[in-house]
Structure 1
């Protein structure tokens, strides 16, 4: 037994005991050695378990320290038994100070406040429900300011399944709101990108169709302009001839016929009729040129344009056309407001918006359109031209489609669905933006944003 530790017992074989021989003492010594060896093994196992327990405690402590959510564990009476670093940093007190204090005392307003009452109710519900309870309360931070926290309180059980306390884990709602706001902004940006891609695809498809249509329309427009020019010359000749024929006294029958046929009124009105036909032909040519934007790059020359004059000209032509009695509230600006662009294209946009308002208010005794011009809010900004009517407005499900090609809310045969789509593209070419929103008093309000000439 030289490799063993020194035996803690004396050599009993030297003790003279009557009736006990040497073999008995040898057995006793062997038993004592076995017990001693077992004690050494148990001691080694205990040290190993202590080391494992220490590692487990360090692991749990590292988890509690790394948690960004606040955590507190309390007993059945609501007294704090354990916290984590996030909670200590939030309330500005160390764990040693927090232990033994009521969890309700951490709430805004103290232990007698409304948040403390809700916290106690949540702990009571957690004691009877295995899935726990959720409560939103406001903790008092280190500066005494309220911090909204969404707590999830669950029961803490012993080895026999009995409730011995509660565990409450919560996250400050400020972080959740920031994350939700960032997610919402990303979602809105994705929706805008998808809408832009869809609109681009629609414009590309429409361009292939319009390219041929615009080319074919040029022929009858040129024919019409040529005939109107010839008609003007013929009218001048007829007027000269009739003036020469009727220069002297007329027979009574011829004079009565001239009066009955209103020859003088026809001759006087003929120039304005020809002018209207000429203007209509030129307007049709402008529309054809605008349609070309869907298929080719617009090469029209641009320069400073007085936007006030463009609006007045558009109002004049709408009133002269199909809506002579349509009320339009418009106050021209005191000084010219110039934008950089094409006068013909901008006139086309204004005509389209005013005519759409007139069509929407048709049949309404008090139908009107209010046009307002707002200067830029800051140097280098964009001016706003608002067209607000009091018509029936546009249904919410149609708002997102009003600028789509071929989409129209007018009856069949009353609209092509291209006016607003073309107007949207023309304003976009001018570095501006065309938008739609419900009008304040009902109806619809279109807003044209354009950079002023200096900023453009």
Structure 2
């Protein structure tokens, strides 16, 4: 049994440990009243120890919405000895003296002494850890973005060719069709239809190229949607078509026609495939040889519920000495200035975020093989990705009124023509200032508005803000048709407003679906 002197020494020792602890220590009794409040707790919560001794802990640091649960848990433990939180590490919100909520890590221990029920809470302020996590996340996103921009830079040499080819088809076929119609020599209507199809195909190719670059360049959260992996691969191969051809590299694609639809972020997987193809191309260019070939294959493993994408090249392969390091960040075998060293690390991270894996293997007959395995889940294809919507034979009379706002006269006229065929009466304006006048003149009686974002005579954000004040109901039926989604003005505006948006270039089917969504009551 301790003597009074020994007890005082033990108490002093205990007090010294508590006072110098780095974590906050708060001791309460069975009534929930503060018995001790160490200096670290004072620093965290902003209270003076002497001012809080004897006060209910619930009123000090527990947020109001959690106080009832705290009191119930304490009374239950005192009555039954059963507690759900004692001895466990929990992450919870806590309240400062200013009323601000902060994240904390908490562990509560029963330290009953001499028959008096006491509970000690060890508290760690998680604000610094959360800030560090956010900084790491931002740095990781910055690395991803840097790698995407590096990939874009390696593709820019072929962009002009990739766009100029289909643009040449569009221009040439359109001029020839115009000449034939002006000379009234159109006897073969099937030939005219074929010219229209060639123009449409070439324009669609331009749109896919632009979309691919926009998807790579923009920063956004991952969004998995029903996606056909073979479509993603085809787009990446098409994007590299010119540079591959110029380097004397052939690309062979091997897969069945009945591949499943996967839940993927198509932009991220496109980035991975593009990066692996560029790596294979560079390996073949550095390795020399005349028969340069890349083989892309997709296979389904039904037993493992997985899909495998393989990218093989017949180059020199990856030396054994560096095989264990190629996925390490900033490791590169490329010359100074030719690579960031983060492409494979980023690609591996993106694939693993999809629940898959990225591995290195050996291609049959020599060369490198990269294998992407992705989980194969039952996903229904997106109906919007199916066939082009059928034309409606009988359009209703123009009982709905649409306002088109675009400073590009040709775009405005095209939108008006598409909407007119859908049964809309259309008013066309060429800037936000003119649009305000038309809206005021009609007392806001428009069913929907299609608006550009950047216009010299009154921009889209200004028109939207004016609508919120003057015609709030109409502000909920405005949609933006823009080609400037990467611009800082457009990005900030769309983020704050939450307005629906469709990117240029668009198809009549795109506009029809967009207008249906705008005019559907919510």
Which structure has the highest helix share of the two?
Answer: 1
TM-score (norm 1): 0.38
Please tell me whether Structure 1 or Structure 2 has the larger radius of gyration of its CA atoms: 1
Name the structure, 1 or 2, with higher relative contact order (CA <8 Å, separation 6+): 1
TM-score (norm 2): 0.34
